[in-house]
Chain A
Amino acid sequence: MSIPEKKLEGTRLFPLKQKKNPIAAFENVKKNYDDVQVLKGVDLNISPGEKLALIGPSGSGKTTMIRMLMTLEKPSSGHIKVEGKYLWHKEVSGGLIPANEKHLREMRQNIGMVFQHFNLFPHMTILRNVTEAPIHVLGLSKEEAHQRAVDMLQKVGLGDKLDAYPAQLSGGQKQRVAIARAVVMQPRIMLFDEVTSALDPELVDEVLQVIKDLAKETDMAMILVTHEMDFARDVADRVVFLHDGQIEEEGKPKDIFENPKSPRLKSFLRRFLKS
């Protein structure tokens, strides 16, 4: 199957999916850093509740993609939509104007992110890391935020660390706190950027297990950037292979891993499974 055909098929499929409007959509999104184009026109729809694994060689643009969805980077051209609304623009009569901070904050309410390097707030206890935003951003009462946070921390196995500071935790524990901190905000989409790559090998599984459990019980959509192929196959409804700033292939995990079509994906998987 040649690439143009695939694109056509994509557009034909889109109306069928209308009953399930995408929770997030990339529309011909490009991103340049100075002269270098790191994303070369990405089209991607994420359905509500969908668990999407984003794989690809290092430098292919995976992080850039989800950072744009988190509003940490601005697309150079194209559009990103969340729940049908432009992320980086405001719709006014007569067209689009660049989004202001108020619009971005409204949009961000839908999105949560877990970072490779945790980025916990080091001056707050674990509990406060998780209650701070629910209280001051969502406006929950202290009691309610506390209850939610404790439930969530227990779920990730850290119910006994409420009063510890991040510096006292292992990498795996820190990452589990970071997951709790993001989930407690109840976003519609969660972004995970290689959340186990900064961990010692023996700590990887505890974090992957937490995400797997979460994926099973939540109706949040998730975009999981990962190099853990077994994990991706386990958890994802769909796998997207990014190569050199473009989506090279996408499909069900079974198809992607057992029957890859693009030579680049084949060689990526071969290299990957070997090393």
Chain B
Amino acid sequence: MSWDWNFAIEVFPEILGAIWLVIAITFGSFIVALILGLVLTFARRSSFKPLSLLVYAFIEFVRSTPPLVQLFFVYFALPAIGISINKYTAGIVTLGIHYSTYVSEVYRSGIEAIPKGQWEAAKAMNFSKTQTWFRIILPQAIPPVIPMLGNYLIVLFKETPILMAIGVGEFLQKAQLIGSTHFKYLEPITIVGLLFLLLSYPSALLINRLEQKSNQAFTGKKNRRLTNQFHLKSGA
């Protein structure tokens, strides 16, 4: 069997058609991971020991079981106890929860790098606990770990094909359908690989640049330029 250009060109748009779905699922899951990761980080640090132990156990459990098993659990097993959700939500929730445990670890490393003196100054200025987190600690802890978070975004993106297992029409499922219809797998599967390469590689480069910039954070002019760029990107 040899490479068939006509066939490849013919099926490319169909596979590419899944791009918005894949992007939506990737960012949807990532947002869940970012928020839930923060909740886990706070809970893990709670002075209420049962809560912090429970969260510790949860994190270890989620990390040491395969995402595919978790996906089946959420989609096929939860309905048995009366919780049923559609496949897209199931996918986003599963990937979101799975990656929240890694994101939480990233936050933790950022938070632990903040000197004790910052907490003490926040107390001396009489900020509340919440204000201390959101005005003093997190704004310092998160910028340096943005590149690490970005790496997880890419890893998460590359994990989306597992959603094929519950019938989500992402790249791989499209390719597999095309392949089984025409009994030709080489072109569609290769296209899927290329799409992942084309989307991940530039993102990785971008993250590398972010990494270099975040090393210069808070030193004045350079930092201000960086924040301006963020503002421009977010349209502010």
How far does the Cβ of B228 sit from chain A's closest Cβ, in whole Å?
A: 14
Q: How many residues of B are counted as interface, with CB atoms below 8 angstroms from the partner's CB atoms?
A: 23
Q: Which residue of A lies closest to B129 (CB)?
A: A101
How far does the Cβ of A186 sit from chain B's closest Cβ, in whole Å?
A: 12
**Stretch from A37-45, A105-113, A140-148 that touches the partner:** A105-113
How far does the Cβ of B56 sit from chain A's closest Cβ, in whole Å?
A: 24
- Could you say which residues of chain B place their CB within 8 Å of the CB of A113? 124
| Alpha-carbon gap, A164 to B121, bound state (A) | 19
Q: Which residue of B lies closest to A181 (CB)?
A: B125
| Alpha-carbon gap, A120 to B218, bound state (A) | 12
Answer yes or no: A96 CB below 8 A from chain B CBs.
Answer: no
| Alpha-carbon gap, A182 to B140, bound state (A) | 21
| Inter-chain contact B125/A185, CB cutoff 8 Å | yes
How far does the Cβ of A80 sit from chain B's closest Cβ, in whole Å?
A: 16
| Inter-chain contact B126/A185, CB cutoff 8 Å | yes
Answer yes or no: B180 CB below 8 A from chain A CBs.
Answer: no
Answer yes or no: A132 CB below 8 A from chain B CBs.
Answer: yes
Q: How many residues of A are counted as interface, with CB atoms below 8 angstroms from the partner's CB atoms?
A: 29
| Alpha-carbon gap, A166 to B140, bound state (A) | 13
B-contact 0/1 string along A115-153, CB 8 Å cutoff: 101011111000000001100110000000000000000
| Alpha-carbon gap, A142 to B33, bound state (A) | 35
B117, B127, B218, B220: the one within 8 Å of A137 (CB): B127
Q: With contacts A101-B129, A105-B126, A105-B128 known, is A119 near B220, CB below 8 A?
A: no
| Inter-chain contact A137/B125, CB cutoff 8 Å | yes
| Alpha-carbon gap, A242 to B217, bound state (A) | 42
| Inter-chain contact B123/A119, CB cutoff 8 Å | no
Answer yes or no: B139 CB below 8 A from chain A CBs.
Answer: yes
**Chain B facing A: main interface SS:** helix
How far does the Cβ of B4 sit from chain A's closest Cβ, in whole Å?
A: 56
| Inter-chain contact A121/B124, CB cutoff 8 Å | no
Q: With contacts A115-B117, A117-B117, A136-B131 known, is A122 near B125, CB below 8 A?
A: no
Q: Which residue of B lies closest to A111 (CB)?
A: B124
How far does the Cβ of A157 sit from chain B's closest Cβ, in whole Å?
A: 20
| Alpha-carbon gap, A40 to B4, bound state (A) | 87
| Inter-chain contact B218/A71, CB cutoff 8 Å | no
- Could you say which residues of chain B place their CB within 8 Å of the CB of A72? 120, 123-124
Q: Which residue of A lies closest to B143 (CB)?
A: A123
- Could you say which residues of chain B place their CB within 8 Å of the CB of A137? 125-128, 131
A119, A132, A164, A165: the one within 8 Å of B118 (CB): A119
How far does the Cβ of B6 sit from chain A's closest Cβ, in whole Å?
A: 57
| Inter-chain contact B125/A123, CB cutoff 8 Å | no
How far does the Cβ of B152 sit from chain A's closest Cβ, in whole Å?
A: 23
| Inter-chain contact A119/B127, CB cutoff 8 Å | no
How far does the Cβ of A232 sit from chain B's closest Cβ, in whole Å?
A: 22
| Alpha-carbon gap, A132 to B135, bound state (A) | 9
- Could you say which residues of chain A place their CB within 8 Å of the CB of B140? 121-123
| Inter-chain contact B131/A112, CB cutoff 8 Å | no
Q: With contacts A108-B123, A137-B126 known, is A121 near B131, CB below 8 A?
A: no
Answer yes or no: B200 CB below 8 A from chain A CBs.
Answer: no
Answer yes or no: B31 CB below 8 A from chain A CBs.
Answer: no
Answer yes or no: B203 CB below 8 A from chain A CBs.
Answer: no
- Could you say which residues of chain B place their CB within 8 Å of the CB of A112? 124
| Inter-chain contact B218/A108, CB cutoff 8 Å | no
Known: A168-B220, A182-B124, A185-B126. 6 other contacts (CB 8 A): A72-B120, A121-B140, A123-B140, A123-B218, A133-B126, A182-B125
**For the complex of A and B, 4 pairs with smallest distance between CB atoms:** A119-B121, A119-B117, A133-B125, A113-B124
Instruction: List 14 contacting pairs A-B, 8 Å CB cutoff, sorted by A.
Output: A70-B124, A72-B120, A108-B124, A112-B124, A119-B121, A123-B139, A123-B140, A123-B217, A137-B126, A137-B131, A165-B223, A167-B220, A168-B219, A181-B125
**Chain B interface (Cβ < 8 Å from any Cβ of A):** 115, 117-118, 120-121, 123-129, 131, 135-136, 139-140, 143, 217-220, 223
**Chain A interface (Cβ < 8 Å from any Cβ of B):** 70-72, 101, 105, 108-109, 111-113, 115, 117, 119-123, 132-133, 136-137, 164-168, 181-182, 185
